[in-house]
Amino acid sequence: DYIMIVRNSIAEGKKGKLALAAGLVVIQNNKILLIHPKGSSWWKTYSIPKGHVEAGEGLIDAAKRETNEETGIDIDNLRIEDKSHTNFVDYTDKKGVVYKRVYYFVAEPKKPISAFKLQKKEVDWAGFLGVEEAKKRIHPRFNPLLKILGES
């Protein structure tokens, strides 16, 4: 099973297993859905809705669950474009060792999304931003995701 292979990968120089997470890159009107983690600075901390993959859970299922939990978006309203396991962002420590991998899947709403029901203990803002505004707010490790806006 692919997920177990990745989950059991050991990061060099680290104790424990590589953390595995998944999220959705939701695109609407050429804008990307970003969330702001509660208690973080307002600049360079935003990301896509994402979270840890639970034991026995598939990557897409985790991405859908986390997006729904964090934003309240109706997952049945989303069309997921690419269901492969090839798109990811790595979290690295100061030595460049990967300790967390976030797999992401591009999705578009079937009907426009206009409201959110936030998971208040983790998220204090969610919204769709154009590429220029997103560049100011998104965490640098997620900058490559903004290229998707140029492709949609």
Domain coordinates of the chain in residue numbers? Answer: 2-151
Average pLDDT, whole number, for the chain? 88
Looking at 9-130, list the stretches that DSSP marks H as alpha helix, in order from N- to C-terminal side: 59-71
Whole-number percent of the chain with pLDDT over 90: 72
pLDDT in tens, 41-91: 888 999 999 999 999 999 999 999 999 999 999 999 999 987 776 789 999
Alpha carbon 88 to its chain centroid, in Å, reads 9
Mean pLDDT within 100-108: 94
What mean pLDDT comes out for the span 36-40? 93
Residues 6 or more apart whose CB falls under 8 angstroms from that of 127 comprise: 33, 34, 116
Instruction: Quickly count: other Cβ atoms within 10 Å of residue 117's Cβ.
Output: 13
What is the SS3 assignment for 118? coil
pTM given for the model? 0.85
Which residues touch 47 (CB under 8 Å, ≥6 apart)? 23, 34, 35, 37, 138, 139, 142
d(CA 117, CA 19): 27
Fold of 2-151: Nucleoside Triphosphate Pyrophosphohydrolase (3.90.79)
pLDDT digits (tens, 9 = 90+) for 10-31: 444 455 578 999 999 999 999 9
